[in-house]
Structure 1
Amino acid sequence: MSRIENPIEGVVYQTEDKADFYLSTGAWVNSTVGETLRSTAAKFPDRSAFVSDERTLTFRELDEQTDLIAGGLLDIGLMSGDRVLFQLGTTIETVLVAFSCYKAGIVPVCTIPQYREVEIDALGKTSKAKAHFVQADFSGFDLIKFAQEVQQKNSNIEHIIVVRGKAPDGTHALDALSSRLSLAAARERLTSVSISPRDVLSFQLSGGSTGLPKIIPRFHAEYIGHAVGWSTRYQIDCSSCIIWSLPLIHNAGQSYALLPPIIFGLTAVLMPKVDIQRMLELIEIHKVTHGLSIGPIAPQLIAYTGINKHDLSSLKLFSTMSRADKLEAHLGVPCSNLYGITEGLVLGSPADDPDFVRHHTQGATGTPCNEIRVLDPDSEDVITLGNVGELCFRGPYSLLAYYGDEVATKKALTSDGFFRSGDMVIEHVIDGRSYFAFQGRLRDNINRGGEKIGCEEVEEYVCRHPAIADAKLVAMPDPFYGEKGCIYLILRKGFEAPNLKALADFLAAQGLAKFKCPERIEIVDAFPVTRVGKVDKALMRQDIAQKLERENSDA
């Protein structure tokens, strides 16, 4: 396989032998993202690549416009291997910026517009970012001014590039970059750039809900291979059409929505935000075949009462993190659970897998080279089949080392290089294939007098109640047991909340152990979320603790 053309100090690269092996098995693809885009644009120049309510890009337009922007980036002094901060939403412009960077060998640090000083300062300095892309119209928050303040504290940042807005003095407008050179001159400029399939494609970020995100290098050959593997698992091909409404630049967005179009020549429909009614309209208009959700989309779909107004006959599969059975019953199309982690593993199931697999496991890997073990979370001992243990994996897409964080790397990997996910699963072997059922996270448990309660397990059972649209279980302090469970509920429209006894009776009838039943109910209109859009359970635990303290004081 080709050598690394733009090595980045501090990045751990795969060995030559392993790289050759993954290439020979097809787990890696011997290409760069730029080469893949150019090849697909030559095959399907007039086919729609990305569609939004604002505009549509054909593959020819995508190829030409990204050449122009890439040439402009090189012309202002950025170079292959340079890192750049991204604070961009899910728009066509984000697609253009991402592929332009990939063609020029520039490495996006995949932050999001919601990040503020703590995250951006740390990530900018750790990555030694040379530029900062911001979307001017993302929200009422002034991201341009924010980027200027960040630049004053970080001498590495030489350029601020403004997307979808007017660029003040000292910054660059994306439109100006794209017209800086002619297409011929931009393409000539790009011929001087050498990029290897083994080069770093992007700096992805860990998805933890607490602490600063850790940087995860991803590489051209392995990232393309990863997208091919999961897409093949979901039976996605050149005739498919996918829809995406969550952050585009994160791992899931790039794997599910950004790369498959240029790999297969399919069309991706992009939405700047979650809007259930509009999503269903777009599925009908564009004949979407595959829908994917890693966030709050599934509960909102289940709660949407106008589902019969929409023609969803084009949908072959809708995949979600959990509750696929309930979603399938509501939508009337095949649904399956999935699992994904930025450190390198995706599990899923196609529409023709058995109901048990699609509804009661997160599926299987689409790559035979992936090695998966279920380990004792306190040791490296393998758990007996059928028992709960920690999901651990090693393979062609797995984290080799966090960038600039040896301590976190050592903690995350076993002695033989398996990544410890912190997620608890049960392995099911069906017809000789291993499927993994998610049981909760190591850090999302309640210790009730020594009995551990997996919050996500209880949440799944609670959400089966006809009055409940969604539920989140958190620990609340208790003087006797140490902790008890408090369930926060979002109710379906027109339904009343069950009381504790009625909910406990319902859960017991479902087969849930009595000690796992929630011991307090809180009704809310929405769950608090972190800046990255994840449910903020820390804030919910703080909320219930404060309520208990006030109640005890009043008593």
Structure 2
Amino acid sequence: MYTPPEQAAYYLNGGIWDRQTLGDTLRSAAKHAPERIAFVCEGDRMSFGELDAKSERLACGLRALGLQVHDRAMFQMGTSIETVVALFACFKAGIVPVCSIPQYRELEIGKLAELTNPKAYFVQADAGGRFDLAKFASGMSERHQIPHLIVAGGAPDARGHALESLCESTAEFSALDTSGEFGCEDVVAFQLSGGSTGVPKVIPRFHAEYQSHVRSWCACYDMRDGHVGIWALPILHNAGMMFAIVRTVLFRATTVLMPQWDVERYFEAIEHERVQHAFTIGPHAPAIAAYPHVARHDLSSVRSLSTLMGAEAIERATGMPSINMFGITEGLVLTGTPESSMKARHGSVGMPCSPYDEVRLLHPGTDEEVQIGEAGELCFRGPSTLRGYYAAPEINAVSFTPDGFFRTGDLIRAAVIDGQIVYRFEGRMRDNINRGGEKFGTEDIEYLIARHPAIADGKVVAMPDPIYGEKACAFLIIRDGHKVPTVGELGEYLLAHGVAKFKLPERIEACDAFPTTRVGKLDRAHLRATIAGKIDEESVH
């Protein structure tokens, strides 16, 4: 859903939105700093000039295949320079990436394909570990009639095209002139949001608002032209797109990419590349804080490390100025700044980045605001706020207040620190699970569990985990005469039905019945409290 024309004009005329497309922003960076390194990845280095030229050739190659403006392209690629090139080629050609991840399987990719009707499928063959991702993508392309399969990092089958070959096949080319075909107000990418439906919801992000959103966020960290950042997470996530893709071209910055997480190499890269800005979430934060050899590394270049959890522990252990923050793909970032007091940086997730973002905390299920110090549902609106999920009218009907504030389902508490209102994350109202930054709902998993021959019914809830934040726990009611399946047996069953591995329950609790609320509804909060209590007891003994 597009921003209403009069509102878009206000943002553009007021300088709140950027007027360039992301492809043009790369072209500008290449013109002004062609030799500057844009991306570093496992020894490979690519300058802005090289990235601009290679992505331009690939954009021409995609057009030569017959792909058109506003066609969608499924992406299942890793954190690599090949992914960067493919993304910018799409941005330049007006093709809309559907930002999937290598961990998705038949269930997620199938439903996303049905929803977005992609005309191309980009896959990185070496991003799936032992899983043959290229073969999987070929099968899904055939099943869902996706005409063009484009493979990086491996040889395609007879149906596919090698990404490198598409780049080289257009050695003689003229830069695409798309000024009359699409502009800064058009969709640049489909991002995904984990939701209670079990399958991600599709979030359109736009050239103009996406860049302004990143600019306002990075301004909080005093980001400067040429500053070096490091990214060791999935690049196709919204946070990856913001920090590793958009930030790089906006600030003509260098980004160090780490396809595989390794805490020692992370510190080595910070030292070697003189990293100034870092970002981390989920399981990486405890590993950074627990790294035993910090003293071996010169970390003096680091100006800020932002994290969704664990800033205090990281700063105490490493000395790097660390900041807790909150981000949501639907269009809001809350954060402190390096100049904020430690109480604000570590004891809250900060404040809105943009002065045009409005935040309300409402009593759940109402439009009534809570008092400062009282937890309420985070609701917001602003220049980057989602206007509506793609092709989801039923969800959109309940996702906004009457005056256009997006309802997040997250519980937040406002506090006053150093004379300024800041926010503290309290938890979620909905039943999503956030496993190390991968958010997912439980509806589809529960549907499959209930079809297992040994299980009468099953409910899946989040359980606390010191590394990943949360993992999935399955409460099962077993049919008479059957045994409780092991975690491994249940996992094999779900994998066989196309569920992504990171969604699998990692603990099973057998029960005779599920708790209910006073009005007879399933009491998921009671289930979460039950497993949390058991884990607490086990940690004591």
Paired residue for 2:192, among 190, 198, 205?
Answer: 205
Paired residue for 1:277, among 233, 257, 264?
Answer: 264
Q: What is the Cα deviation at residue 271 of structure 1?
A: 0.4
Q: What is the Cα deviation at residue 100 of structure 1?
A: 0.5
- Shift of the 278–196 alpha-carbon distance from structure 1 to 2, 3 Å rule, reads same
- Are 1:153 and 2:143 an aligned pair? yes
**Residue segments in structure 1 that go unaligned for 5+ positions in a row:** 1-11, 446-454, 478-529
Residue in 2 that maps onto 1:141 = 131
Q: What is the Cα deviation at residue 314 of structure 1?
A: 0.8
- SS in structure 2 opposite 1:175? helix
- Please say if residues 283 and 469 of structure 2, whose CA atoms lie closer than 8 Å, have aligned partners that are also in contact: no
CA offsets per residue over residues 308-336 of structure 1, 9 Å max, x none?
22111111111111221111100112111
- Shift of the 272–475 alpha-carbon distance from structure 1 to 2, 3 Å rule, reads closer
What is the identity percentage for the equivalent residue pairs of Structure 1 and Structure 2? 41
- Are 1:539 and 2:505 an aligned pair? yes
- Shift of the 288–257 alpha-carbon distance from structure 1 to 2, 3 Å rule, reads same
For residues 531 and 338 of structure 1, what CA distance do their matches in structure 2 show?
30
Moved more, 145-154 or 72-81: 145-154
Residue in 2 that maps onto 1:413 = 400
Q: What is the Cα deviation at residue 545 of structure 1?
A: 6.0
- Please say if residues 69 and 177 of structure 1, whose CA atoms lie closer than 8 Å, have aligned partners that are also in contact: yes
- Please say if residues 188 and 207 of structure 2, whose CA atoms lie closer than 8 Å, have aligned partners that are also in contact: yes
- Are 1:19 and 2:15 an aligned pair? no
Q: Which letter does structure 1 place at the counterpart of 2:142? A: Q
- Shift of the 60–474 alpha-carbon distance from structure 1 to 2, 3 Å rule, reads closer
Written as runs of structure 1 = structure 2, the 5 A alignment for 1:139-538 is: 139-155=129-145, 157-183=146-172, 185-187=173-175, 189-190=176-177, 194-208=181-195, 211-430=198-417, 433-443=420-430
- Please say if residues 93 and 178 of structure 2, whose CA atoms lie closer than 8 Å, have aligned partners that are also in contact: no
- SS in structure 2 opposite 1:542? strand
- Shift of the 474–171 alpha-carbon distance from structure 1 to 2, 3 Å rule, reads closer
- Shift of the 353–25 alpha-carbon distance from structure 1 to 2, 3 Å rule, reads farther
Residue in 2 that maps onto 1:94 = 83
Moved more, 424-433 or 222-231: 424-433
- Please say if residues 27 and 367 of structure 1, whose CA atoms lie closer than 8 Å, have aligned partners that are also in contact: no
For residues 511 and 193 of structure 2, what CA distance do their matches in structure 1 show?
29
For residues 473 and 85 of structure 1, what CA distance do their matches in structure 2 show?
27
Q: What is the Cα deviation at residue 182 of structure 1?
A: 2.7
- SS in structure 1 opposite 2:398? helix
- Are 1:58 and 2:24 an aligned pair? no
Residue in 1 that maps onto 2:24 = 35
- Shift of the 231–544 alpha-carbon distance from structure 1 to 2, 3 Å rule, reads farther
Residue in 1 that maps onto 2:518 = none
- Please say if residues 383 and 389 of structure 1, whose CA atoms lie closer than 8 Å, have aligned partners that are also in contact: yes
- RMSD over equivalenced CA pairs, Å: 2.9
- Shift of the 435–279 alpha-carbon distance from structure 1 to 2, 3 Å rule, reads same
- Please say if residues 70 and 186 of structure 1, whose CA atoms lie closer than 8 Å, have aligned partners that are also in contact: no
- SS in structure 1 opposite 2:505? helix
Q: Which letter does structure 2 place at the counterpart of 1:160? A: L
Q: What is the Cα deviation at residue 172 of structure 1?
A: 0.7
For residues 476 and 133 of structure 1, what CA distance do their matches in structure 2 show?
34
CA offsets per residue over residues 98-127 of structure 1, 9 Å max, x none?
001000000000001111111111101110
Moved more, 412-421 or 355-364: 412-421
Q: Which letter does structure 2 place at the counterpart of 1:542? A: I
- Shift of the 144–359 alpha-carbon distance from structure 1 to 2, 3 Å rule, reads same
Q: What is the Cα deviation at residue 348 of structure 1?
A: 1.0
For residues 76 and 308 of structure 1, what CA distance do their matches in structure 2 show?
53
For residues 471 and 124 of structure 1, what CA distance do their matches in structure 2 show?
30
- Shift of the 469–85 alpha-carbon distance from structure 1 to 2, 3 Å rule, reads closer
- Shift of the 132–365 alpha-carbon distance from structure 1 to 2, 3 Å rule, reads same
- SS in structure 2 opposite 1:383? coil
- Please say if residues 196 and 431 of structure 2, whose CA atoms lie closer than 8 Å, have aligned partners that are also in contact: no
- Please say if residues 282 and 469 of structure 2, whose CA atoms lie closer than 8 Å, have aligned partners that are also in contact: no
TM-score of the pair, normalised by structure 1: 0.79
Q: What is the Cα deviation at residue 27 of structure 1?
A: 2.5
- Shift of the 541–249 alpha-carbon distance from structure 1 to 2, 3 Å rule, reads same
For residues 346 and 533 of structure 1, what CA distance do their matches in structure 2 show?
29
- Please say if residues 282 and 467 of structure 2, whose CA atoms lie closer than 8 Å, have aligned partners that are also in contact: no
For residues 252 and 280 of structure 1, what CA distance do their matches in structure 2 show?
21
- SS in structure 1 opposite 2:230? strand
- Shift of the 242–545 alpha-carbon distance from structure 1 to 2, 3 Å rule, reads farther
Moved more, 74-83 or 20-29: 20-29
**Aligned positions, number:** 468
- SS in structure 2 opposite 1:137? helix
Q: Which letter does structure 1 place at the counterpart of 2:268? A: E
For residues 314 and 136 of structure 1, what CA distance do their matches in structure 2 show?
35
- Please say if residues 372 and 391 of structure 1, whose CA atoms lie closer than 8 Å, have aligned partners that are also in contact: yes
Moved more, 295-304 or 266-275: 295-304
For residues 440 and 541 of structure 1, what CA distance do their matches in structure 2 show?
21
Residue in 2 that maps onto 1:499 = none
